[in-house]
């Protein structure tokens, strides 16, 4: 047993569980009202699956939009798969929850950002109050683990 509670890991699991629950609702009932999602994920994650041409175009990370056209949404305990429209060509993606970097629903100004050890090192060098690009949209309620650190 560890001599400390790993709040960061616990918070990440809770945030990923929230994403899973939201996507399960969308799988069952579709996107309600004006809701839509911008999901940025690590394209280098070993369990992320995307077409070769997408991987070439987005070698490190990729942001997808689930809004007007998506199909075959399947949500599991590990992640989700979905077909999205890229220039009138449907492409299937598999995104593990562990690969998600940001999850934003701009219709209600809600966003989650997952910190990585590299992010934490960079933020230690920066002003703690400075906004970051990943917290877009600017007025969103972005949950950052730094909020809970002392």
Q: Residue 40 in contact with residue 102, Cβ under 8 Å?
A: yes
- For residue range 74-87, what is the model confidence (pLDDT) as tens digits? 999 999 999 998 88
Pick the CATH number of 7-143 from 3.90.45.10, 3.90.180.10, 3.40.190.170, 2.30.30.220: 2.30.30.220
Say yes or no to pLDDT of 113 above 80: yes
Q: What is the DSSP letter of 77?
A: S
Residue 136 contacts by C-beta under 8 Å, 6 or more apart in sequence?
A: 104, 111
In angstroms, the CA 60 to CA 44 distance is 6
Going by pLDDT thresholds of 50, 70 and 90, the confidence category of residue 89 is: confident
Burial profile 66-84: b = 16 or more Cβ within 10 angstroms, e = fewer:
beeebeebebeeebbebeb
* High-pLDDT (> 90) share of the chain, %: 57
Say yes or no to pLDDT of 142 above 60: no
- Residue 141 has a pLDDT of 47
Q: What is the value of pTM for the model shown?
A: 0.74
């Amino acid at each position: 047993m560890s001599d400390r509670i790993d709040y960061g890991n616990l918070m990440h699991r809770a945030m990923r569980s929230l994403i899973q629950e939201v996507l399960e609702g969308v799988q069952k009932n579709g996107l309600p009202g004006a809701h839509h999602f911008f999901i940025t994920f690590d394209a280098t994650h070993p369990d992320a699956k995307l077409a070769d041409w997408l991987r070439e175009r987005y070698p490190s990370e990729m942001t997808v939009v689930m809004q007007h056209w998506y199909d075959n949404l399947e949500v599991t305990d590990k992640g989700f798969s979905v077909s999205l429209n890229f220039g009138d060509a449907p492409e299937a993606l598999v995104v593990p929850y562990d690969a998600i970097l940001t999850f934003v629903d701009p219709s209600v100004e809600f966003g989650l950002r997952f910190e990585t050890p590299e992010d934490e090192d960079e933020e230690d060098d920066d002003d703690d109050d400075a906004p970051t690009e990943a917290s877009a949209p600017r007025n969103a309620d972005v949950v950052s683990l730094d909020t809970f650190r002392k």
